[in-house]
Structure 1
Amino acid sequence: MKAVVLAAGKGTRLRPLTDDKPKGMVEVADKPLLTHCFEQLAEMDADEFVVVVGYRKEDIISHYGDEFRGVPITYTHQREQKGLAHALLTVEEHVDDDFMLMLGDNVFRANLGDVVSRQREERADAAFLVEEVPYEEASRYGVCDTNKYGEITNVIEKPEEPPTNLVMTGFYTFTPAIFHACHLVQPSNRGEYEISEAIDLLIESGRTIDAIRMDGWRIDVGYPEDRDEAERRLTGAAEVEAESASGDEEKPVEAADGE
């Protein structure tokens, strides 16, 4: 399954970290954000990365080249940042089957594989990793409504008054049907082509979209303090893993019966 990564943004809210680099190249725990994305996607056997670049695209292309750890990379160019649906259309000619979509400014330590597994079951036309957040934070994201079967019935992009606190996390799987929906999207009040509207068009056409609850954590790195929090969590997780490995090495081997 191919993996599409959206990395065209300027990251204006991340300044001064993005004064001299694109958002995807901001480092967290000594690695660019995009490297964290690629590592996660490679673990799920992505067979190609299709990366949407824009602002300072040369920085990304020169850093990664045409492959990452043996996985080929194709780049597409979003010349103007007009929303996620607009960005997604730049990859249409490169994707002809089910695919993963990750926003390149997220750091995950979560059950992404559950979303991919659900897509491969062929019972859903799309699957999204979702999480519950405090209501006061929900307006930063695409907010979801679900039915009793765990299917998404509506998505509202960054509402001023969120109807729920269940939000999309930035990891999705889709069939190519999403491209047709993106072509039908009209600019929002923000002047952007919102992926939430494309998703609603899929739902209205009878497509099934499953919500997979997040098990783990993720940080949407939108502000410098988000970068700091992601770094703190990654560093803490690494220390726990190191301590666990050290404990296993020091654990004495029990003698077999009779010895």
Structure 2
Amino acid sequence: MKVILPVAGKGTRLRPHTHTKAKSLVNVAGKTVLAHIIERLQTVDVEEYIFITDDNGQQISDFMAQKFPDLKCSYYVQHDRLGPAHAVALGAPSVQAGDDLLVVFNDTIFVTDLAQIKGLCSDADGLIYSKEVEDYQRFGVNVLDGDMIVDMVEKPDTPISRLAQVGLYYLKDGAGFIEAIEATIAAGETVKGEYYLPSVFMRMIENGFKFKAPEIDAWLDCGKPETLLETNRFLLAGRHHVHGDVQESVLIEPVHVEEGAVIRNSIIGPNVSIAAGSEIENSVISDSIINTDNIVKCLILDHSLLGDSVSLIGSPRRMNIGDHSHIVMDQ
């Protein structure tokens, strides 16, 4: 199996964290988004990881060489922002006849058993993984007849389907899929100047290909600060890993403290991940992600996301307050 991972894109919804790093290298629950995805792909036999990058490609290749040095990787740059289908098509030189193909977009960490692919796809040509959602109006959805997809609707006004496409696709015939993308591009089938995969899949369905829409167990969005924190809470649930130096502090499970982090006289948790090199002192932190080499002193943080090498220092208050007082400090 070959895997295509489109990791281009500026990640504007995650700014300022993506001003200096690729969006797939943002941390959540102690690992980068990309590391979470690669680890989930270890359950299948992957021959080659094909990355579609932008000008942050060197960051991706350096990360893979450091964290996953034994994996075979190739890299292609998307110079023109012509959409996700165009990005996937750039991996064509690495996809040969007979290759099956998995396409994984990196805004989402998925929870599903990829080892079931062969069984799920025994009577189909591919899988377009889905998740039933309430706010179907926000997504492209799969419309089924039995267990086969017969239509795809982008952001429907009525609940014709609640099965949202999650950005995870399996194709038995990888080369045939690339050819279908190239035919779609040649036909100029764009939406606001960009090429999208639903047009490709509908072209294939009209030509007799059959696709199923299996539901994944969890769909963890990492595309915005608020959803990144939600994903952090989900991934930390049931995990309590403390490898750093914790001094005279209270940890409220679950938290993830990496080796090399130092915590003094603080209350940490729940749902906090703190990366190596960070120092936390005289602070209270909950529901937050603290990345590498931060200094946090004398602060109360909740639902916060700190990038790398941040220095955030407050000051303790001294008070002399009499009985029956009512004091509200918003700042």
Task: Give TM-score scaled by structure 1 length.
Answer: 0.83
Q: Which structure 1 residue ranges, 5 or more long, are not aligned? A: 244-259
What's the counterpart of residue 56 of structure 1?
A: 56
Quote the Cα distance in structure 1 between the aligned partners of 2:158 and 2:193: 20
Superposed counterparts of 1:168-187, under 5 Å: 168-174=165-171, 175=173, 176-185=175-184, 186-187=188-189
Change (3 A) 1:44 1:63: same
Contact 2:107 2:221 in 1 (8 A): yes
Contact 2:189 2:199 in 1 (8 A): no
What's the counterpart of residue 153 of structure 1?
A: 150
Q: Shift in Å at residue 18 of structure 1? A: 0.9
Quote the Cα distance in structure 1 between the aligned partners of 2:31 and 2:76: 23
Q: Shift in Å at residue 153 of structure 1? A: 0.9
What's the counterpart of residue 87 of structure 1?
A: 87
Q: Can you list the C-alpha shifts for 1:9-35, whole angstroms capped at 9, x where unaligned?
A: 111111122121111111111211111
Q: Secondary structure at the match of 1:146?
A: strand
Change (3 A) 1:113 1:128: farther
Aligned AA (1:114): Q
What's the counterpart of residue 163 of structure 1?
A: 160
Q: Can you list the C-alpha shifts for 1:94-151, whole angstroms capped at 9, x where unaligned?
A: 01211111112211222333235434x3x211112211001x3x23332110111x11
Quote the Cα distance in structure 2 between the aligned partners of 1:193 and 1:41: 26
What's the counterpart of residue 230 of structure 1?
A: 231
What's the counterpart of residue 192 of structure 1?
A: 194
Q: Give aligned-pair identity as a percent.
A: 29
Aligned AA (2:154): E
Which one scores higher on RCO, CA 8 angstroms, separation ≥ 6? 1
Q: Secondary structure at the match of 2:138?
A: coil
Q: Can you list the C-alpha shifts for 1:34-89, whole angstroms capped at 9, x where unaligned?
A: 11111111222212111111142221122223982522111111112221110111
Aligned AA (2:182): H
Q: Shift in Å at residue 224 of structure 1? A: 0.8
What's the counterpart of residue 221 of structure 1?
A: 222
What's the counterpart of residue 126 of structure 1?
A: 126
Aligned AA (2:176): A
Root-mean-square deviation (CA), in Å? 2.2
Change (3 A) 1:70 1:158: farther
Contact 1:115 1:172 in 2 (8 A): no
- The structure with more helix, counted as a fraction of residues: 1
What's the counterpart of residue 74 of structure 1?
A: 74
Quote the Cα distance in structure 1 between the aligned partners of 2:202 and 2:208: 10
Q: Shift in Å at residue 183 of structure 1? A: 1.4
Contact 1:2 1:46 in 2 (8 A): yes
Aligned AA (1:76): Y
Contact 1:22 1:55 in 2 (8 A): no
Higher mean displacement: 5-14 or 160-169: 160-169
Contact 2:43 2:114 in 1 (8 A): no
Q: Secondary structure at the match of 2:190?
A: coil
Q: Shift in Å at residue 7 of structure 1? A: 0.5
Quote the Cα distance in structure 1 between the aligned partners of 2:60 and 2:120: 31
Contact 1:157 1:194 in 2 (8 A): no
Change (3 A) 1:16 1:203: same
Aligned AA (2:199): E
Q: Which has the larger radius of gyration?
A: 2
Quote the Cα distance in structure 1 between the aligned partners of 2:113 and 2:137: 24
| Residue 205, structure 1, aligned to residue 204, structure 2 | no
Change (3 A) 1:79 1:209: same
What's the counterpart of residue 3 of structure 1?
A: 3
Q: Which structure 2 residue ranges, 5 or more long, are not aligned? A: 242-252, 254-331
Quote the Cα distance in structure 2 between the aligned partners of 1:51 and 1:170: 15
